[in-house]
Amino acid sequence: MINVALPKGRLGEKVYELLCQIGYRCEEYSKDSRKLIFSDERGEVSYFWVKPSDVAVYVELGAADIGVAGKDILEEYCPDVYELADLKMGKCSMCVAALGDFKDDLSSPLRVATKFVHTAEKYYAEMGRDIEVIKLNGSIELAPVLGISDVIVDIVETGTTLKENNLKVVSKISDISARLIANKSSYKFKNDGILRICEKLKKAVESSD
Amino acid sequence: MKNKICAKREESIISELSTLYRQYGYKRYKPSCFEEYALYQENKDFLIGKNVITFSDLNGELMAMRPDVTLSLIRHSDISDKVTEKYFYNEKVYRQSSGGRNYKEISQIGVEVVGAIDETVVGELTILVCKTLETVSDDYILDVSHMGFTEGLLNEFTSNRNQLSEYLRTKNLHDFYSLAEKEKYPKKLISAFETAVNACGSPQNVLKSAKLAILNSTMRDAVDELTALFEVLDEFDYADKVNINFSATANADYYNGVIFNGYVKNIPHCVLSGGRYDKLIEKFEKDGGAIGFALYLGEIERYLAKDSESIDYLIIYDGKTNLEALKTARKLRSDGASVRISTSISVGQIYKELIDLTEKEADE
């Protein structure tokens, strides 16, 4: 039995659909049910849905053998897991954005508002730019508008929210998409099962690409 | 009780392992709890966590509570490439618990061999690694890697070293392919990297494909050494417990040969790690090599059996029957039973039989 942690929400539903297509449907599962864990009747897999940012924690601690997490989360928390496949879903990018007339003033530290503190610190450390991080948990776009930060580091999907708030992308840090991750111990003890799911998923992703 | 992987208690594992290591002729090493902070500061990257507990001693010198035993051993022992010294230790170390935000006292038991190291030493030590894991559970897997193979491979790439080493460590081929396309890596290099990432499984198969991926003499020596090691392990019936996994890497500033990572079924993280670390000896300007491993008992504590709460007899006494209680208990204990005497029944106490010496009085 392989335990799979999926992210709650649209992405998780899409990944589940894909898993169904490759033969890991769970008859017991219904979208409206309030149950937390669902098992496939053949006993091959069981699913549970958790907050997207928690998937990596469940996998690292072995509650789930495999899971699906955004590359943004993996870059930010650096969990000790294997990253086995790019599912090419939930595509977006991690970007630096600022007000339209922004110019970097190198005489003082750059004030960066973000949810992704580690990602921002790493990015600017590599550039050798001194920064002050302002950790926010949501509505990051507000920070430069209200003047508490010079730039933001955040996920940009379509760019609509940025545009509506007079912000523009200054630079792209990395491309983001959903990744299949595996617990390091499970990878050894359930190697056949995990590799089977992984290979089928990769094929399904390729053919839909 | 789903989480109990091992029916043994921590003490019994420690005592079994100490006996085992003594049987192999290892001497017990007992370091001081404190060391000069400089030792750890200079070798920060050798430690599992970067943080250590520091304090000033009476001379005003900055000291640290040891976060590791290996560094103390290398610093304080005479090492020569003419003699092989074999030590084991069973100590507490003080560091951040894995994933935790606090310092923890972690019990650690391990083995270090320093000085002259040859194939036989490596072979015997690997058998000892298997026997150590076996003490925790029969259902274990030992991941073996070789720094010569991984470093030899990474050195073939002229740039992006950190990124590549991260891709190897996390078995991330998809991002590697994107990078390879961007950097236009030659086919041979791409296929060698693929082999390293996909390597996981029985030594026989993995070594066969590893041989085809050899790009330089460092990698060849590594494959030869692993082949020799597996011949020994096969001879001693440990081959099926061992996996070659080149994703298991260690810090190349210290480690240079075989690398061990031990896993036990149903424990989600690595429980044992170690390897060959001649480069650390070099840093201390001593001659010879070193190889060792540690079992992180503190990290697996929750999966081990706890002190049993159940006793054979519970004797309840009061002011008038205390002597009688002591005597009854002595008699029962001499028959081998576990007996607890108390004035009341504590919450959660499990016992097979209750002897209430206060009852008689109530009857009268």
- Asked if pLDDT for residue B72 goes beyond 70, the answer is yes
Could you tell me which of A194, A173, A205 has the C-alpha nearest to residue A64?
A194
Element (H, E) at B300: helix B297-300
- Cα B235 from chain centroid? 24
Among the listed residues A115, A107, A145, the one whose alpha carbon sits nearest the alpha carbon of residue A133 = A115
Tell me which DSSP letter residue A96 carries.
E
Query: Mean of the pLDDT values across residues A18-37?
Result: 80
Which of A88, A189, A194, A203 best probes binding to B when mutated, by most B CB atoms within 10 angstroms?
Answer: A189
The confidence score (pLDDT) of residue B361 equals: 52
* Cβ separation A188–B143 shorter than 8 A: yes
A207 class by beta-carbon count within 10 Å (0-12 exposed, 13-18 middle, 19+ buried)? exposed
A84 vs B contacts (CB less than 8 Å): 171-172
Long-range Cβ contacts of B284-288 (<8 Å, 24+ apart): B284/B74, B284/B75, B284/B79, B286/B74, B286/B79, B286/B80, B287/B79, B287/B80, B287/B81, B288/B79, B288/B80, B288/B81, B288/B114, B288/B115, B288/B116, B288/B117
Asked if residue B99 has pLDDT above 70, the reply is no
Q: Which helix (H) or strand (E) holds A173?
A: strand A167-176
Q: What angle do CA A164, A166, A170 make, to 5 degrees?
A: 115
Interchain CB distance below 8 Å, B200 and A82: no
Question: Can you tell me the distance from the alpha carbon of B233 to that of B319, in angstroms, rounded to the nearest whole number?
Answer: 64
Chain A 188-207, CB below 8 Å of chain B: which residues?
188-189, 191
Whether A185 and B201 lie within 8 Å, measured CB to CB: no
Contact partners, residue B282, CB within 8 Å, separation at least 6: none
| Alpha-carbon distance B76 to nearest alpha carbon in chain A (angstroms) | 33
Mean local confidence (pLDDT), A180-202: 95
pLDDT tens-digit map of A87-136: 999 999 999 999 988 988 888 999 999 999 999 999 999 999 999 999 99
Full-model pTM: 0.86
CB contacts of A83 in chain B (<8 Å) are: 170-172, 174-175
Mean pLDDT, residues B114-125 taken together: 95
Distance between CA atoms of B3 and A156, rounded to whole angstroms? Answer: 41
pLDDT at A36 over 90: no
Q: Token match 């090691």: residue? A: B229
Between helix B161-169 and helix B173-183 the angle, nearest 10°, is 150
**pLDDT at residue B1 above 60?**
no
A93 close contact with B: CB closer than 8 A: no
Any idea what DSSP says for residue B201? B
Mean pLDDT of B310-320: 89
Q: Which residue of B has its CA nearest to A88?
A: B174
Helix axes B203-212, B187-198, angle to 10 degrees: 170
Confidence of residue B96 (pLDDT cuts 50, 70, 90): confident
Of A62, A83, A186, the CB nearest to B171: A83
Decide if pLDDT at B150 tops 80: yes
Q: Are B47 and B106 in contact (CB under 8 A)?
A: no
CATH class (in words) of the domain with range B310-363: alpha beta
Token code pair at residue B215: 């790009």
Predicted confidence (pLDDT) per residue in A19-28, tens digit:
999 988 887 7
Checking phi first, is residue A193 left (phi over 0); if not, alpha (psi -120 to 50) or beta?
Answer: alpha
CA-to-CA dists, residue A150 to A103, A128, A143, angstroms: 9, 17, 8
What are the residue ranges of CATH 3.30.930.10 in chain B? Answer: 4-305
Mean pLDDT of the region B317-341: 92
A65, A4 Cβ separation under 8 angstroms: yes
Which residue of chain B is at minimal alpha-carbon distance from A80?
B170
Length of chain A, please?
209
Chain B residue numbers touching A80 (CB-CB < 8 A)? 269
CA nearest to B263 within chain A: A185
| ipTM metric | 0.88
Residues forming CATH 3.40.50.12590 domain(s) in chain B: 310-363
Q: Residue B87 half-sphere exposure, CB side, CA atoms within 13 Å?
A: 22
Task: Enter the DSSP assignment of A141.
Answer: T
Helix (H) or strand (E) holding B354: strand B350-356
Q: With an 8 Å Cβ cutoff, is A123 touching chain B? A: no
pLDDT of residue B253: 86
What fold is seen in the domain B4-305? BirA Bifunctional Protein; domain 2 (3.30.930)
- Count CB-CB contacts under 10 A for residue B238: 18
Higher pLDDT, B310 or B134: B134
